[in-house]
């Protein structure tokens, strides 16, 4: 029979993890709304993403503050120490994912009056549809402590990278039309933002692996 000898510490640690997961849920929704704002040119959705990011930023600061207090006062060890390390990493990653959603939303607002190219838009929607399940998978793996399923994330990221790399070709095809080219050039930035979100979901998966095994892992090795 195991009894928790440090209930206050573990309550604080659990609470910190819950806040981090709330932040992850919010960021996941922000990415979905940002892509939707791009398709609909709905400025209300843009405002919703930006307002939500303010909340994310507050959560980021709150998590950092509580993280420092726990480290200073409790000196966590073992899996508690690994959880603290993972939370610090997730906090940074989620905050940047939120920023990417804001970048997409702001581009949606800036390009609202410009002509659009449907193939590019469809590719971006497809990228959004690919990265949202990646975020969900990474968060679910963290909650479930599932070091096996998170290994699926690099494979889920491959089509996102392929779509991002192919985006230039579609943009160049818009070169005959100046207003369309202006829109398409901005869409390269959207593609890049979604590609980064996919990579960041993989980063969260790596933190799950670290949390469960104690080994720092890089799921994706770059060559050349």
Q: Contact region for another protein (CB under 8 A) — 54-62, 70-78, 99-107, 152-160?
A: 70-78
**Measured between alpha carbons, how far is 35 from 23 in angstroms, rounded to an integer?**
19
Question: Which is closer to another protein, CB of 87 or CB of 160?
Answer: 87
**Measured between alpha carbons, how far is 208 from 98 in angstroms, rounded to an integer?**
20
Provide CB contacts within 8 A for 70, sequence distance 6+: 9, 12, 13, 16, 76, 84
Provide CB contacts within 8 A for 131, sequence distance 6+: 31, 160, 194, 197, 198, 201
Q: Which of 23, 108, 112, 4 is nearest to 64 (CA)?
A: 23
Residue in the block written with tokens 């933190």? 207
Should residue 72 be labelled a site residue for another protein when binding is judged by CB under 8 A?
no
Q: Contact region for another protein (CB under 8 A) — 1-9, 24-32, 48-56, 150-158?
A: 1-9
- Pick the binder of another protein from 51, 81, 155, 172 (CB under 8 A): 81
CB atoms inside a 10 Å sphere around CB 159? 13
Q: Contact region for another protein (CB under 8 A) — 3-11, 31-39, 46-54, 153-161?
A: 3-11
Question: Which is closer to another protein, CB of 118 or CB of 215?
Answer: 215
- Pick the binder of another protein from 38, 53, 76, 186 (CB under 8 A): 76
Question: Which is closer to another protein, CB of 6 or CB of 144?
Answer: 6
Should residue 165 be labelled a site residue for another protein when binding is judged by CB under 8 A?
no
What 3-state DSSP class applies to 131? helix
**Measured between alpha carbons, how far is 4 from 2 in angstroms, rounded to an integer?**
7
Give least dist CB 208 to another protein, A: 14
Give least dist CB 133 to another protein, A: 30
- Pick the binder of another protein from 42, 80, 140, 173 (CB under 8 A): 80
Where on the chain is the footprint of another protein (CB under 8 A)? 2-6, 9-10, 75-82, 213-215
């Amino acid at each position: 029979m195991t009894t928790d000898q440090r209930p206050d510490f573990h309550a604080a640690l659990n609470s910190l993890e819950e806040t981090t997961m709330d932040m992850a849920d919010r960021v996941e929704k922000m990415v979905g709304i940002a892509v939707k704002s791009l398709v609909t040119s709905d400025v209300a959705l843009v405002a919703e993403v930006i307002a939500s990011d303010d909340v994310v930023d507050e959560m980021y600061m709150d998590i950092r503050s509580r993280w420092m207090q726990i480290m200073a006062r409790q000196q966590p060890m073992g899996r508690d120490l690994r959880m603290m390390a993972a939370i610090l990493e997730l906090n940074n990653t989620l905050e940047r994912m939120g920023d990417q959603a804001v970048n997409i939303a702001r581009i949606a607002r800036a390009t609202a009056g410009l002509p659009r190219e449907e193939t590019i838009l469809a590719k971006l929607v497809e990228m959004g549809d690919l990265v949202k399940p990646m975020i969900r998978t990474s968060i679910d793996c963290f909650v479930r402590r599932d070091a096996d399923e998170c290994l699926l994330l690099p494979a889920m990221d491959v089509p996102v990278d392929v779509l991002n790399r192919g985006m230039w070709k579609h943009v160049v095809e818009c070169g005959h039309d100046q207003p369309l080219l202006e829109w398409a050039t901005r869409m390269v930035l959207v593609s890049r933002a979604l590609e980064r979100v996919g990579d960041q979901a993989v980063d969260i998966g790596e933190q799950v692996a670290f949390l469960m095994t104690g080994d720092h892992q890089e799921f994706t090795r770059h060559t050349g």
